[in-house]
Amino acid sequence: MPINENNLVKKKKRALEIIAELKKLFPKARIALNYSNNWEFLAAVILSAQCTDKKVNEVTEKLFKKYKFLDDYAAANIKEFEQDIKSTGFYHNKAKNILASAKIVKEKFNGKIPRTMEEILILPGVARKTANVVLGNAYGVVEGIAVDTHVRRLSRLLGLTKEFNPGKIEKDLMIIIPRKEWFNFTYLLIDYGRKYCPARKHDHSDCPLNKFYI
C-alpha cells in the first residue's frame, strides 16, 4: 500500500511539535537506572523488564556491591543469583539471561558489551528495545527507537502510530521522527508518562499534551 505523502508530512509536523513540547517539560530527560559501567547497565536494563526503575535501583544497589566484576557474574550460582534479584519479578528468566550473557560477553567479546545491533542481539534476554537502550546510552550508537510500555501507550495516544506491536511502532516512529531525536524521544515519553500521564485511569484534562491526544 503506497504511503500517503500528505499524511506523512502531517505526521512528521505533529511529531516535531510534540517533541518540542516535551523538551520544554523535560529539558534533561535521561534514563533513571543507576550503574557504573556498561556491563552493570546491561544487567540493570534486563532487570527492568516488567519492573520499575526504582525497584531495579534498589536491587542493584546491593547486587553491584556483591558482584563487582563481569567474572563474578560468569561464575555465579544461579539459584543464589535468583534470590538476589527476586523482587524484580520474572527472576528465573532474568537470572538465566544475565548469567548466560556474562559468559558470552567474557568469552566472545573479550569482556566488552558489543557495539553493534547485530552483535548485541546475540545476548540472551536482549531484544531490540534493550539493544537500543544499551547501545544509545553506552556508546551513542542509535540504530532505532526503544519502545517500552510508556512509548507504546503514549505513541498511540498522541496519534503517532496505530500499531500495537513494538516492532511495528518503532518502524512507524522512525519514519516520522528525525534520526537526531530517536534516542531522546524514548526518555521524553517515559518522563511524561511517569509525571503526567500514567497508565492508570486518570483525568486527561490535566495532561499538558492533551491537545494532541486522539
The answer to whether residues 66 and 25 belong to one domain is no
Nearest to 125 by CA among 7, 38, 42: 42
Last residue in a domain, options 105, 122, 139: 139
The answer to whether residues 43 and 134 belong to one domain is yes
Rounded CA separation 157/4 (Å): 21
The answer to whether residues 132 and 157 belong to one domain is no
Q: What residues act catalytically? A: 129, 148
**At 17, which CATH number?**
1.10.1670.10
The answer to whether residues 50 and 125 belong to one domain is yes
The answer to whether residues 112 and 202 belong to one domain is no
- Express each pLDDT in 88-137 by its tens digit: 999 999 999 999 999 999 999 999 999 999 999 999 999 999 999 999 99
Domain count, the chain: 2
Last residue in a domain, options 96, 118, 139: 139
The answer to whether residues 125 and 148 belong to one domain is no
Task: Going residue by residue through the chain, which has 214 residues, state the pLDDT in tens, using 9 for 90 and above.
Answer: 445 888 999 999 999 999 999 999 999 999 999 999 999 999 999 999 999 999 999 999 999 999 999 999 999 999 999 999 999 999 999 999 999 999 999 999 999 999 999 999 999 999 999 999 999 999 999 999 999 999 999 999 999 999 999 999 999 999 999 999 999 999 999 999 999 999 999 999 999 999 999 9
Last residue in a domain, options 139, 155, 185: 139
The answer to whether residues 125 and 155 belong to one domain is no
**At 72, which CATH number?**
1.10.340.30
The answer to whether residues 109 and 48 belong to one domain is yes
Query: Which domain, by its residues, includes 11?
Result: 5-30+144-212
For the entire predicted model, the pTM comes to: 0.94
The answer to whether residues 107 and 68 belong to one domain is yes
The answer to whether residues 170 and 89 belong to one domain is no
The answer to whether residues 83 and 128 belong to one domain is yes
Helix 53-66 with 38-47: angle, nearest 10 deg? 130
